[in-house]
Amino acid sequence: MLGPKSYYDNPNTTVKRDFSIIQPLKSVASVRLLIVIPILFFCLFFIYPLISILYHSLDANSFEVSNPFIVLLNDSYYLGRIWFTFWQASVSTILSIIIGMPIAYFFAKYNFFGKTILKSIISLPFILPTVVVAMGFVVILGPKGIINSILISLFDLNESPLKISNTLTIIFLAHAFYNYAIIVRIVSALWENLDKSMSESAKILGASRLKTFYHITLPLLMPAIVSSAILAFTFSFTSFGVVLILGGSKFATLEVAIYELTTKLFRLELAGALSIIQIIFTFVFLLLYARLQASSSVPLSLKPSETSVKQKLGLWDKLFFICIIPYILIVLSPIVALVWRTISSILSYQFTQITNLFYPERESYFYLSPVTIIWNSVKLAIPAVLIAIIIGTLVSYFLSRSKKRGFSLADAVFMLPIGVSAVTLGFGFLITFNTYPIDLRGSWMMLVLAHSLIAYPFVIRSVLPVLRGINPELRESAKLLGASSANTFRLVDLPILSPALIVGTTFAFAISIGEFGASILLVSPELTTIPVAIFQFMGLPGSTNLDKALIMSTVLMSVVTIGFVMIERFRSKSSGAF
Amino acid sequence: MKSFIGYMSALILISLPPIGCGNSTSETSTPEIAQTESTQIRELKILAHDSFDISDDVIQEFEDTYNAKITIFKSGDAGEMINRAILEKGNPSTDILYGIDNTYLTRALKEEIFQPYVSPMMSNIPNHLILDDTFHVTPVNYGYVNINYDKDYLKNNQLELPTSLEELTQPQWKGKLVVENPATSSPGLAFLIATVSYFGEDDDYNYLDFWGSLRMNDVLVKDGWSDAYYTDFTMYGGDRPLVVSYATSPAAEVFFSDGKYIEPPTGNILIDHATFLQIEGIGILNGTSVADLAEKFVDYTLGKRFQEDIPSRMFVYPVNPEASIPDFFKFAQVPTLPAVVTHTTIDEKRDEWIDAWTKIVLR
């Protein structure tokens, strides 16, 4: 025999050419055991805090205060919050779809110079930290924002005409800004690969463009629209930073309510009960999404994108082209506004004052230097990324073995951390890891663990599709030639995976740097991260504080953008849109 | 693949020092100074609210005398700061908490986050200013919370000074008042308690009715005093001429004007029983490793140097009667009849008041 015995014994190895089933790994027991590490991690740092939350919310003062769940469900305010979270997420999702569809069409149908760069740019909002997005919106639409300043000087007004900060409108806009990119990427990926022959037949038979779209294209696109909508909905549902900064106390979603109950009203048992309710909802959403994703990666009769791109550009096409570019610019305006405002603020300082912002000449006892804060964030991000990569890759290996129902359930379970709100996670850590057996109070490990928990699902989403796409014949050949498992991994898997791993790494880094919801609960006075510092500076009066917030937002945005550029470079086409 | 391994090794190498740092104290932790008496510079960390301010040289003097290094962490408004300290109970990340006042006192005492200390300086302090008779919290300053008004604005808009709180619910004051959230801000809570005392809880028209009418009259609620005062008060570019603040704030306006104002541009609305005597204090956190140094610091805050610096920094009165009060404080007024609410009442009812208020005003 030239290969391992199991290769001949295993009845499956001879049959399928299905790239999604990877058999040879099955034969090595020690490799299978590696999944134990992620399971331990998941149980210890995710399940255990959640159970702790449940325990706290059921246990507290049961004679004096009634069961928190009952209190909550009887309180019209909190019921109102749940309802509000739902319907603002729905409206935000619909808005994202409306904004995203034309752009998706644009990318599916047209080929032009700079297409890949533009595609990257429009996806940037999704990866931006929430504080940066909120900051961008404040800068452009706030009472002292750019649009108001323009309107005031144009029409010689006394006060700002556009009063939409602290209203629903700005929250919807911010959510749409965040999530339209999801729609664009997932839908255009499918759209550009659709077989044109069906819509062409419809046209030949006399259907108008509208009819063709409605009856042919739309149904075909449905899986992509629905799955991207579910993702957008989940992110809007669990949105925290945007609602907290732009919405104020009046528009609290579940997240904001949990945060307020923890830090302001100090009703931990109610916060716990709300967290449980929120987790149940998001688990359902994510299960839906995982099911849809697994089923939609079965290919339809997809054609390469070149065939659906228009060859000849008619008048409508040219008009559309001309309109879509400013449309995209408007959509991206908060980012541009943020950079613009930062640069103009910096320019208004003299050079000495700028260095003073970063390195105070006079030793002031209250001063937390932005440089220290930035360095804090980096120090936290690196171990967080390492943990996320290891956990994410191990889970991907486990999940890549099959697409059966059990595995898709496992997929949803492992993905839970991103659906569970960051605030809930932070809250869970806060009340769990403050006593025996794991006391992490005052330790930076809490933040590292929280960040890695939130980041590893993105590593899974980057690595898993590539892993599923590895031709098993490559591995089989290596085995036949006598390579051990470790060598197979090193020489076959790793080179193929390495772009996906780089994507996962930079994703995890960007997430850790920009994480806000859990961090705001877990930072200690000495160990503050950039997003929390931005939030604190925004809350203090005075233009110097605002400038510090602006500068740090721009630094954060630049770091994330650079990471993002790297992601785009190394991402392979087969990894799908998400 | 080689590039990937290189990438990962670089990451690992960079991350080793942070992992090695472990439970780190601040980056600027001081080197040991070898001296004949083996004195090291010890660190003292102070948790304070955003309005805390003291002159650098006052801090410097303490540091020099006791071979200490002081770091002050401002962490938001009083309410949030105290909640965070409670969450860290037993294993605090700082040593001293400054800014616990008589409104939030019992919440902190119940959670036992402080350790008791009777400072020898306490013998100087008048009895009515001792906010905690178990001495877990030592009083440091006091002030009177009331409503400030912008003189120019009222004059230009022909508005008469209100003589009762009920007037604030009338149409001419619609959209003109900014208050602080009692859940987060200590002056906010102080004002709420004053309204409870003023209107009562059970009568026909109680404090909740008052706040309900205020809400309908478009009252603005901000989380903290500095936000309300420096953003929404008309003196600083906002659109609200009335703000819940301190009876000493008009004096502060003169102080900061560098001679521009000879008389305060703002004034105090001193309605009987509608002002509140707020006493602020300092407490040594349970679990600190530098308790003796912390005790020295508590003594220091009661000493003349620190106490005399307080008025021009935080615009409240020092508790030590021997500390001289600066000249510009002549513009500060002392209300004759502040609201009187007992400790026990505040203790029993505080959370209930805050909850009820939140329901009526914010939701």
What does the pLDDT look like over A21-34, one tens digit per residue?
444 444 455 566 77
B window 37-66, beta carbon within 8 A of A: 45, 47, 50, 52-53, 56, 59
Q: How confident is the model at residue B98 (pLDDT cuts 50, 70, 90)?
A: very high
- Whether B172 shows a pLDDT value over 50: the answer reads yes
Chain centroid to Cα B108, Å, comes to 15
Residue B148 parent element (H or E):
strand B137-150
For residue range A381-415, what is the model confidence (pLDDT) as tens digits?
A: 999 999 999 999 999 888 887 777 778 778 878 88
**Min CA distance, B86 vs chain A (Å)?**
10
Contact flag A502-B7 (C-beta cutoff 8 Å): yes
Chain B residues with CB inside 8 Å of A249's CB?
Answer: 181, 221, 362
For residue range B103-142, what is the model confidence (pLDDT) as tens digits?
A: 899 889 998 999 999 999 898 899 888 888 899 999 999 9
Q: Letter for the amino acid at A315? A: L
- Whether B19 shows a pLDDT value over 50: the answer reads no
Name which residue leads in pLDDT, B147 or A496. Answer: B147
- Whether A180 shows a pLDDT value over 60: the answer reads yes
Chain B residues with CB inside 8 Å of A542's CB?
Answer: 230
pLDDT computed for residue A303 by the predictor = 59
Average pLDDT rounded to a whole number, residues A129-135: 87
- ipTM (interface pTM): 0.76
Contact flag A263-B354 (C-beta cutoff 8 Å): no
- Whether B240 shows a pLDDT value over 80: the answer reads yes
pLDDT computed for residue B23 by the predictor = 35
Average pLDDT rounded to a whole number, residues A219-248: 85
Average pLDDT rounded to a whole number, residues A440-467: 86
Average pLDDT rounded to a whole number, residues B22-48: 57
Residue B285 parent element (H or E):
strand B276-285
- Whether A451 shows a pLDDT value over 80: the answer reads yes
Q: Lowest mean pLDDT: which of A429-438, B82-91, B140-149, B280-289? A: A429-438
pLDDT computed for residue A1 by the predictor = 46
Q: Letter for the amino acid at A49? A: P
- Whether A476 shows a pLDDT value over 50: the answer reads yes
pLDDT computed for residue B17 by the predictor = 42
User: Which chain A residue lies closest to B231 (C-alpha atoms)?
Assistant: A541
Structure tokens at A466: 């590539």
Contact flag A382-B24 (C-beta cutoff 8 Å): no
Average pLDDT rounded to a whole number, residues A278-295: 77
* Residue percentage of chain B with pLDDT more than 70: 89
- Whether B253 shows a pLDDT value over 50: the answer reads yes
φ, ψ dihedrals at A245, nearest 5°: -80, -40
Separation of alpha carbons A123 and A379, rounded Å? 27
Q: How confident is the model at residue B294 (pLDDT cuts 50, 70, 90)?
A: very high
Average pLDDT rounded to a whole number, residues A521-539: 84
**Residue spans of alpha helices (H) in A63-145:** 68-74, 76-109, 115-127, 130-141
- Cα end-to-end span (Å), chain A: 42
pLDDT computed for residue A342 by the predictor = 82
pLDDT computed for residue A362 by the predictor = 42
Average pLDDT rounded to a whole number, residues A157-181: 77
Contact flag B359-A77 (C-beta cutoff 8 Å): yes
B window 207-236, beta carbon within 8 A of A: 221, 223-224, 226-227, 229-231, 236
**Min CA distance, B176 vs chain A (Å)?**
16
**CA of A345: how far to CAs of A274, A389, B198, in Å?**
41, 38, 47
pLDDT computed for residue A219 by the predictor = 83
Chain B residues with CB inside 8 Å of A386's CB?
Answer: 11-12, 15
Separation of alpha carbons A254 and A238, rounded Å? 8
User: Which chain B residue lies closest to A390 (C-alpha atoms)?
Assistant: B8
Contact flag A505-B183 (C-beta cutoff 8 Å): no
Best to test chain B binding among A158, A368, A382, A497 (most B CBs inside 10 Å):
A382
Q: Round the average pLDDT of chain A to a whole number and report it.
A: 78
B window 322-341, beta carbon within 8 A of A: none
pLDDT computed for residue B243 by the predictor = 95
Q: Are A385 and A508 in contact (CB under 8 A)?
A: yes
Q: How confident is the model at residue B25 (pLDDT cuts 50, 70, 90)?
A: very low
Name which residue leads in pLDDT, A297 or B54. Answer: B54
Average pLDDT rounded to a whole number, residues B5-28: 46
Most confident of A158-172, A335-349, A409-423, B102-116: B102-116
Chain B residues with CB inside 8 Å of A262's CB?
Answer: 83
Chain centroid to Cα A339, Å, comes to 22
Contact flag B76-A525 (C-beta cutoff 8 Å): no
Average pLDDT rounded to a whole number, residues A517-538: 85
